[in-house]
Chains A and B, each alone.
Chain A
Amino acid sequence: MAQQTPVRAGPVGGTDAVAAARTVVEHGLRACEAYSRPDLADRLTAAQRRLADPGTHIVVVGEFKQGKSSLVNALVGVTVCPVDDDVATALPTYVRHGEQTAANVVLDGDPPLREPIAVDQIRLHAVEGGGNAGGVRPDGRRVAGVEVLLPRSMLASGLVVVDTPGLGGLGSTHAAASLAATSMADAVLFVTDASQELTATEMDFLRRARDLCGTVLCVMTKTDFYPAWRQVRDLNTAHLVREGLGEVRLLPVSSALRTRAVKTSDAALNTESGFRELVRVVTEDIGVGGATRAAQDAAREVVAVCEQLAGQFRSERSALADPASAQRVIDDLTQTKSRVESLRTNASRWNQTLSDGISDVSADIEHDLRGRIRRVVNDADDALGAGDPADSWPQMEAWLQSRISYELVANYTYLRDRASDVSAQVGEHFREVSGDDLGLLAVYNPTPLLSRTEFNPDIKLERMTARKQTMVALKGSYSGILMFTMLPSLLGVTGLAPIAIPIGLLMGRAGLRDEKRRQLTQRQAQAKNAVRRYCDEIQFVMGKDSRDTLRRIQRQLRDHYTARADELNRSTSQALQSATESVKRTQADRDRRVKDLDAELGRLAQLRQRAEAVGG
């Protein structure tokens, strides 16, 4: 029978790369200190922070009552997400690492506000009818989610597992919100239970999620309860292959067995539950993937910092090594300095590109949204004109909500793509100027040792950074999550109560035909008006939301590149200063200084090489 080995929640992942990255970042920080460049040190400190918590988001999605919350609980080995036979999860729950078990509610806003709550109060906030779920506070802030901190080693590599409300069929509001959430996730766990094959709806969602996120896993739950789960698994695998989703892995699991395995430390049962494999995939493939990416990003930051420092030293060295050309170096550096200074002004090209780009996008997004809403209103008018709203209203309401949410997701995806483009363009324009200058600094590279690593701005890397900037801004914006709570509450606001029909109609029929026709027309007009009011409201709220999001992106990009320009400016100033001083030095002094510089450059080159090895 089962051997009594403790079942752990999983190994810590991606440690090697992360540790190596941590070391080079520390070295880099020391270098910044030694050369008194606190501005560059700031940049590395930020990288260090990201390294400590890469925030790899795994979003758990699926239809209602498929066992998503149970899966999350079984995965982390503690009951954090409330599970109920009837009541479903109403708000996204973020489970992440913390030194101690704690819980917060996340309030909508920029930045989102966190309010600590007792751990046993999670239920009150996260499930439907819990009292506070999805509610608006007196101060106008909306509860956007619940955050749970757990001291689990499995989460220590920065994994964040997000439990979400059920989809409720394709085309429902929640499905749209879940899609928006997946677009920001690092991986998606799609949950379906073993009671039946994947439905057409689920398949469609899987396809969309794959397009938006990339890493999608399909988890089949409740294998302990349904005897035919193997048959269902094979059918599902065949479905996935047929639909061109062959790369999506299907993992059959039983949360009930896993929970028991953790409780009784039964390793055999843990394997039987299918969770061993799931935990491996989550921590190693996804978690390590996220940690490795974070490590690479950090190492690349170190490379960039080395570049700045080395550039500064190299120009000084050129001036020292060849006094005859010193004046030329100084002239060039003076020119560079003025150019770099211009990078910091509002008139610089990248800054122009940024403001123009964002206002263009803002206008286009608004236009796109208006067009979409108008089409929805027209379709709704047609549908309402064809029948009696008294009978079709419930379907109409559901249809309207779902249609609107899909249009909003499409609009949002458009915003994301356009913002990424602008970000890439800004990066390019910045690089056009700064890259040349960094190159100029490198021209005076007399050290054969360093010639191999001649500065060659990596365009691809720069683009990636630009895209990341946009995603960071979007992730902070909570747009997607807003939809979880916003749409249903709005319907209430506009007051679309069932449309009344006098009971007189029910008592016999004679002479009532005309009256009925009149009332029908009236009901149709009433319903059409209600649809318009609702759509106006949506357009107003969403318009503001996307404008805010874009403004946030703009601010973030501006801050990012202004900081880069400041660093460059400082590097150039220092190079210029050193070069000017070098002219005044004695020969012996110069020789000594050149030797020092060579040593420094050697050290920097070494650090750079190590960082490049980690950065890949």
Chain B
Amino acid sequence: MTLLDRTRGVLQRAALAYRGTPHEARLVATAARLDAPLRVAVAGRVKSGKSTLLNALVGERLAPTDAGECTRIVTWYADGHTYRVVLHPKTGEPRQVPFHREDGAVEVDLGGMPPEDVDQLTVTWPSQALRTVTLIDTPGIGSLSEAVSRRAWEVLAAEEDETPADAVLYLMRHLHSGDVEFLRAFQDTEVSRPNPVNAIGVLSRADEIGVGRPDSMSSARRIAARLSADPLVRRVVQTVVPMAGLLAETAVTLTETEVGHLRRIATQPPRTVEGLLLSTDRFLEQMPELGLTSMERQHLLDRFGVFGIRLASTLLRRDGITATDLSRDLVARSGLDELNGVLSSLFYRRRDVLKSRSALLALDRLLHEHPVPGSVALSGELEEVTASAHPFNELRVLSALRAGWVAGKPEVLADLEHLIGGTGTAVHERLRLDPEAGLPERTAAAGQALARWQRRAENPMTPHELVVAARVAIRSCEGLLADLAAVR
């Protein structure tokens, strides 16, 4: 029986126990979540580029973006058969509301309702990308009250509350570790708490790091790598990936007209282009011979930024490059491919575990807050699922590891983290092998890992915490070996 089935079973029995209470509907909804796509929230501070990133992931300019603060209401973007927007007010029934598209972005008519009275908006949109994931756009929180910032981070998986999102993308601008804001950057969301098992950090606006220099992305990559290794960051996210959000959004929504304009720039000698792009003022005003109006130039700047124009006009110098080629190149260079890769290995492939986790957390809270006859039995059942499901144990060890609670040699801890799927759940990722490695090689590596961790678990010198973690690792190795045997 799979984890998802067991979770579904517990939820069904709970729905029976709560039949006739107001909570029944909630339990049914929770069970329905198991079959729906994974919910990923995009969170971060004001102006960190959340809506831009969301658009890049969907491949359409759905969420409105602006130079000023723009997203004010939590907005869900989900796949569906028709285009429609449903408004959920804080009090009262949800209702469908009219909308229009402004430059592609969905502009919702709230019907005179002030944004603070709106709980959330749900945008249903037929889209390939939204079939695997439901995205939640959140307003950034600019300042925090003392009470919020002092609230302890509950990293213990079993003690968390229910959250609307199964996983979170945390966007951050380049922050220095000596920055007081640094820690706060992770604390500003109501949809899900940061947790190294279900959160990924995104170093957004990566092109600004090198002030638009051509090597900006490699600088950003270096910084992201450093952040990923920072103990404070490791406590809250699994990894950090760099991303030039604006470039990614533009690349996936590139138009022929834009490419045409860029081609005119690309035909100029490189030195001339360099001079033109020295400053945004120069780009807007100089070289009338390009035949671009100031509005067209402004549009290019808004869509690409200095970095994007520099990059695109350089790429367009190659012979026979089409708009599609350019789009693909820009996507690759923006870091979007990398982010999609990380999302798929850390979130999508583990979606059953993440979804079960969300559902069981919701049930746990309900059982504690509103006990009914049969709650105790259900609690026991829930405990059995959470304690016996190996993926949960892996997640717990992972969060303990990330919080720095397991002591050991760095290379031993790195080995452990890989084995329990901390850097990706595919077999080669767990065993730190080449993706091309053949079956015998995989089997051999899994066997060696098993022997290694059995030794560690039995060694009387191993600290208690590491022994507990080692048992989980052994179980992971056994699972790997069983899977590999099944393939054979």
Question: Which A residues form the contact surface with B (CB < 8 A)?
Answer: 64-65, 67, 85-86, 88, 165-166, 168-174, 195-196, 200, 222-229, 231, 254, 256-257, 260, 269, 272, 383, 386-388, 391-392, 394-395, 398, 402, 498, 500-510
Task: Decide: A64 near B279, CB < 8 A? Known: A85-B223, A222-B211.
Answer: no
- Say yes or no: is B461 at the interface (Cβ < 8 Å to chain A): no
- 15 further A-B contacts with Cβ under 8 Å, apart from A86-B174, A272-B279, A503-B469, are A64-B175, A67-B211, A172-B180, A223-B281, A225-B208, A225-B280, A229-B280, A260-B278, A395-B149, A402-B180, A503-B465, A505-B156, A506-B399, A506-B400, A507-B468
- Cβ contact within 8 Å between B179 and A169: yes
B: number of interface residues (CB 8 Å): 59
- C-alpha spacing A254/B387, complex, angstroms: 59
Docked-complex contact A196 and B47, CB < 8 angstroms: yes
B396:A171 contact, CB within 8 angstroms: no
Q: 29 A–B contact pairs at CB < 8 A?
A: A64-B175, A64-B178, A64-B179, A85-B209, A85-B219, A85-B222, A86-B222, A88-B176, A165-B178, A168-B179, A171-B180, A195-B208, A224-B280, A226-B280, A227-B302, A256-B211, A256-B278, A260-B278, A269-B278, A392-B150, A392-B152, A394-B183, A402-B180, A502-B405, A503-B465, A503-B468, A506-B157, A508-B387, A509-B383
A558 vs B225: C-alpha distance when bound (angstroms): 57
Residues B406 and A398 in contact, CB atoms below 8 Å apart: no
By the criterion CB–CB under 8 Å, are A227 and B284 in contact?
Answer: yes
Using known A-B contacts A386-B150, A394-B183, determine if residue A503 contacts B464 with beta carbons closer than 8 Å.
yes
Q: Are B280 and A391 in contact (CB under 8 A)?
A: no
Question: Which B residues between 203 and 235 are near A, CB-CB below 8 angstroms?
Answer: 208-212, 216, 219-220, 222-223, 226, 231-232, 235
Determine whether the beta carbon of B150 is less than 8 Å from that of A383: yes
A200 to B383, CA, bound (A): 48
CA–CA, A200 to B180, complex, Å? 14
A502 x B465 contact (CB < 8 A):
yes
Query: With A394-B232, A503-B405 in contact, is A65–B174 under 8 Å at CB?
Result: yes
B158 beta carbon closer than 8 Å to chain A = yes
What separation, in Å, do the CA atoms of A228 and B469 have in the docked complex? 53
Residues on A with C-beta less than 8 A from B156 are 505-506
Give the residue name and chain of the B residue nearest to A261 (CB): B278
A interface secondary structure, majority: loop
For the complex formed, measure the closest distance between the CB of B340 and the CB atoms of chain A, giving whole angstroms.
25
Query: A195 contacts which chain B residues (CB < 8 A)?
Result: 208
| Majority secondary structure, B binding face | helix
What A residues does B179 contact at CB under 8 A? 64, 166, 168-169, 172
Given contacts A86-B223, A257-B279, A391-B152, contact A502 B181 (CB under 8 A): no
CB-CB < 8 A to B210: which residues of A? 85
Given A85-B210, A225-B306, A386-B150, A507 and B183 contact (CB-CB distance below 8 Å)? no
Q: Is the CB of B150 within 8 A of A503?
A: no
Q: A170 contacts B180, CB within 8 Å?
A: yes
- Nearest residue (CB) in A for B286 is A1
Interface check B404, CB cutoff 8 A: yes
Per-residue A-contact encoding for B270-308, CB less than 8 Å = 1, 0 else: 000000001111001000000000000010011000100
Q: What CA separation (Å) do A402 and B149 show in the bound complex? A: 15
By a CB distance below 8 angstroms, the chain A residues around B231 are: 498
Q: CB distance A387 to B400 under 8 Å?
A: no
* Nearest neighbor of A501 in chain B, beta-carbon distance: B405
Residue ID in chain B nearest A392 by CB atoms: B152
With the chains together, A257 CA to B179 CA distance in Å? Answer: 29
For the complex, is B1 an interface residue (Cβ under 8 Å from A)? no
Bound form: Cα–Cα A6–B154 in Å: 62
Q: Which residues of chain B (244-281) have a CB below 8 Å from chain A?
A: 278-281
- Residues of chain A within 8 A of B477, CB atoms compared: none
Q: Report A-chain residues with C-beta under 8 Å of the C-beta of B279.
A: 223-225, 254, 256-257, 272
Task: Report the minimal beta-carbon distance from B88 to chain A, rounded to whole angstroms.
Answer: 32
**A169-B179, A503-B405 known; A395+B208 contact, CB < 8 A:** no
* A504-B278 in contact (CB<8A): no
Would you give the 0/1 interface string for B398-411, flagging 1 where the beta carbon is closer than 8 Å to chain A?
Answer: 01100111110000
CB distance from B70 to the nearest CB of A (A): 14
Among B163-221, those with CB < 8 Å from A are 174-176, 178-181, 183, 208-212, 216, 219-220
A498 touches which one: B180, B220, B223, B404 (CB < 8 A)?
A: B404
**In the assembled complex, which residues on chain B have CB atoms less than 8 Å from the CB atom of A510?**
383
User: With the chains together, A166 CA to B177 CA distance in Å?
Assistant: 11
Nearest CB of B to A615, in Å: 46
Residues of B within 8 A of A231 (CB): 67
| A395 contact set on B, CB distance < 8 A | 149-150, 183
* B419 in contact (CB, < 8 A): no
Chain B residues within an 8 Å CB radius of A226: 280
